[in-house]
Chains A and B, each alone.
Chain A
Amino acid sequence: MKKFLTTSLSVLALGAVSTAASAEGSLTAVSWGGAYTKSQVKAYHEPFTAKTGIKINSVDYSGGIAEVKAQVEAGNVSWDIVDVELSDAVRGCDEGIFEKIDASTLPAGADGKPAQEDFLPGTLHECAVANIVWSTIYAYDDTKIGDKKPTTMADFFDTKTWEGKRGLRKGPKPNLEFALIADGVAAADVYEELAKPESIDRAFAKLDTIKASAVWWEAGAQPPQLLADGEVLMTTAYNGRIFNAVAAENKPFVIVWDGQVWDIDLWAIPKGAPNMDKAMEFLKFSTETQQLANQAKYIAYGPARMSSAPLVGKYEDGKIDMGPQMPTAAANLANAVQNDFEWWADNQDALNERFNAWLAQ
């Protein structure tokens, strides 16, 4: 018995030692997978390894802070740096599972402006540093839509003119925003409007009008697939995914920017990360002006630094000009709003329940 215990314990210990050993001289960076992770590998990881010799293991996850929380609470953190959404960064910081990051230690922009002034407003957080601006938009297949093309958010909800299925993210965010914008609220005023309880009813009433036509997606890779399969006529999606389907796979998809809800992704470091210093070094390196601009070469997400914008060039094939593809391009921001993480942090739990109840009806 004793022998059994000691053997099993030593096996466990061996396992722990070997994971620790493999982490030496390397770094585990966690992100969303697919085209997005690929863009980070090209723009951040490879140059970083070339410069410092530190290898980077790329791990995919599907968002949320559940896994980070579980690791930190168990005191067994294996991730060094994680790409998170703003709402998760804020919540993780509030709950003490991310390290605090002093923004003044970040490198200045290429034009010499200090980091605090160079990053777009609201993209630096107590515990996280933004790398990209992304957006939820809607898109359609140009070959199937007919002669009349949709141009506004209201058109997405117009199933009379454009008869067919609609792909929507399975969750209240950002469907409620879209519904209100389609119902005539200016994008900029959406959260002011949502603060009134009757607006939630209004948004759900608007969603009711397309519920029968709705196909619900969960992962970012699904909407382009739904469009390509002809499962839906239009779908909401993350703009980078649609762009990649167009640029890399020659799909005839068109993005409608009206009513886009944009958000940011940030690097955060879990408390107790095994390679804290290297993670910090990587974070600083990858959010430098040039690296952020380079990432835009591979995916249509906008750099979080203002000094990166002029450096954004063409897509990796050297043909498509990336500037107009960014959520932050002036033309695309005409009727747009930034996701209000505080409003969502307050209301997420209740609205999830209401949304699920509404779905199951």
Chain B
Amino acid sequence: MTDVAAPGAPENITTSDGVPLKVSLARATRRQRMQALLLVLPLLLFLLVAFVLPIGEMLFRSIYSPIGPDVLPNFSKVIQEWDGEDLPPESTFEVFVKDMTAARESNEIGKTVGNLATRVNYEIPGSRGLFTKSARKVKNITEGPYKEALIGLDKRWEDQHIWRTLQRISSNYTMSFYLAATDRKYDENNDIVMADPLYQIYLPIMGKTLWLSALITFICLLVAYPVSYLLATLPLRTSNLLMIMVLLPFWTSLLVRTTAWIAMLQTEGIVNNILVFTRVISEESRIQMIYNQTGTIVAMVHILLPFMILPLYSVMKTIPPYYMRAARSLGATGTYSFVKVYFPQTIPGIAAGTLLVFILAIGYYITPALVGGSDGLLISNLIADHIKKTLNWSLGSALGAILLAIVLIFYWIYNKLVGVDNLKFG
């Protein structure tokens, strides 16, 4: 391009067929750009289908819960007008009874009384049966007064809390799942309060996940740094062997490695047996090293270690050995030259490794599930529980969204501190 704009050249250079060169050039590069785009198109489509859409769906699900209006369409409209005092008026009760009778007949997924009962049970634990049982009898109420008849079925219909909750869930959108995901809930007066301390689970586990991930990242760094240094500086033959030892576990199935740790660390396992055999500990005082936090940390450090070693190694490999020699020849001590000359040059590798390990650790699932026991569980295990077992997908989504936000915040802080441009993965 600079050639074209060379000084003294005429303003409008044209190609042989009279088209201005600029236009012709733009056309040629556009075609190239299109070809490049076509090449990455499968990837873009894949990202859209496998990444953007599911995450969008997850974020949407965490606030979108149309069960109230779907199951009780008419009631959801009239209950909006209730002022929240005493009980709703008789006319609202009538609409409720009719909607419930219709819902009982419904067999359509997402529009049954069972769906409504589950939804209300999230808000008021123990209220599920009130809905499923009343729904079986509600068709017998064919004439007023509906209020008395309904309360005659079950005294709990007198409870204002039920009606305030029904009013709240009569909208398509809700914040309840984010409240639940942060150990909060609506009380009887529709005020947001913290859950009973005995039932608080998500905030403590979230905190623990962050803390354990940080610890695992730190241990990985401590272990990986000297190994990477050796890898980068030893003669090729030795370092190749060492590299294979790093990579072999990396290529081994995650499940195999995790189960191997179970065999190693369990109370009747190899490590304990050796300790007992060598009389370091007695038969009775075998150490519990797995199915707890220790097990999670040990296994996860091992599994995530290559993600720290490889970026560190690739960065260290590029540091010329004569820098250190030069520092030494100028009179610096070994420690001083390491701190001042070598270490700063490895920071991009450290940055990449720690970010990689930390983010992987935060979302880790299978290893804590297998070796975590009771106190080594991480937030992803709770999310999996909600997706697979309790079927509270909205709560799972809200927890997932919070986790995503935390990762993004850390990424942002990281960017401020280290600068993403400084990351080097090799």
Interface positions of A (Cβ within 8 A of B): 1, 4, 64-66, 69, 72-73, 91, 93-97, 100, 165, 170, 211, 214-216, 229-231, 271, 342, 345-350, 352-354, 356-360
Contacts and interface: CB of A to CB of B under 8 A. Distances in A.
Contacts of A359: 374-375, 377
A72 B106 CA distance: 16
Nearest to B107: A96
B371 to A, nearest CB: 11
Task: For the complex of A and B, list the 7 residue pairs with the smallest distance between their C-beta atoms, beginning with the closest.
Answer: A94-B114, A350-B125, A357-B201, A95-B114, A359-B374, A96-B112, A346-B128
B118 interface: yes
A94 B117 contact: yes
**Binding site of A, secondary structure by majority: helix, strand, loop or mixed?**
helix
10 contacts: A1-B38, A73-B109, A73-B110, A96-B109, A216-B291, A229-B266, A346-B121, A349-B392, A352-B389, A357-B198
A356 B382 contact: yes
Interface in B267-313: 267-268, 291
A215 B199 contact: no
Given A350-B199, A357-B199, A360-B375, A95 B387 contact: no
A80 B351 CA distance: 51
A94 B391 CA distance: 14
Contacts of A345: 128-129, 132
B171 interface: no
A211 B374 CA distance: 10
A348 B392 CA distance: 12
B114 A91 contact: yes
Interface string B145-165: 000000000000000000000
B102 to A, nearest CB: 14
A231 B268 contact: yes
Contacts of B204: 357, 360
Nearest to A347: B126
Interface in B193-232: 198-201, 204-205, 208
A231 B108 CA distance: 48
A208 B126 CA distance: 24
B117 to A, nearest CB: 7
A95 B268 contact: no
Given A66-B387, A231-B266, A95 B118 contact: yes
A63 to B, nearest CB: 8
Contact of A215 (B107, B109, B291): B291
A214 B388 contact: no
B109 A72 contact: yes
B271 to A, nearest CB: 14
Nearest to A229: B268
Contacts of B268: 229-231
A96 B107 CA distance: 5
B374 A96 contact: no
B240 to A, nearest CB: 39
B258 to A, nearest CB: 14
Given A95-B109, A346-B121, A358-B198, 7 more contacts: A66-B391, A346-B127, A346-B129, A349-B121, A350-B126, A357-B204, A359-B377
Of A4, A66, A211, most buried by chain B (CB within 10 Å of CB) is A66
A216 B106 contact: no
Interface residues of B, number: 46
Contact of A346 (B109, B125, B201, B266): B125
B129 A96 contact: no
Contacts of B128: 345-346
Contacts of A231: 266-268
Interface string B170-205: 000000000000000000000000000011110011
Nearest to A214: B374
A357 B242 CA distance: 43
Nearest to A272: B109
Contact of B391 (A69, A211, A214, A360): A69
Contacts of B377: 356, 359-360
B390 A352 contact: yes
B263 to A, nearest CB: 10
Contact of A97 (B109, B125, B387): B109
Nearest to B130: A346
B109 A354 contact: no
B19 interface: no
Contacts of B38: 1
Given A95-B115, A231-B267, A357 B200 contact: yes
A91 B373 CA distance: 29
A166 to B, nearest CB: 12
Given A64-B388, A346-B121, A360-B377, A94 B198 contact: no
A353 B107 CA distance: 30
Given A66-B389, A94-B114, A215 B198 contact: no
Contacts of A96: 106-112, 114-115
Interface in B239-261: none
B375 A216 contact: no
Interface in B91-114: 106-114
A22 to B, nearest CB: 25
Nearest to A65: B391
Nearest to A63: B389
B106 A356 contact: no
Contacts of B199: 350, 353-354, 357
Nearest to B196: A354
A347 B106 contact: no
Contact of A360 (B107, B117, B132, B201): B201
Contacts of B129: 342, 345-346
Contacts of A346: 121, 125-129
Contacts of B391: 64-66, 69
B90 interface: no
Of A93, A165, A215, most buried by chain B (CB within 10 Å of CB) is A215
Contacts of A165: 267
A1 B198 contact: no
Nearest to B133: A342
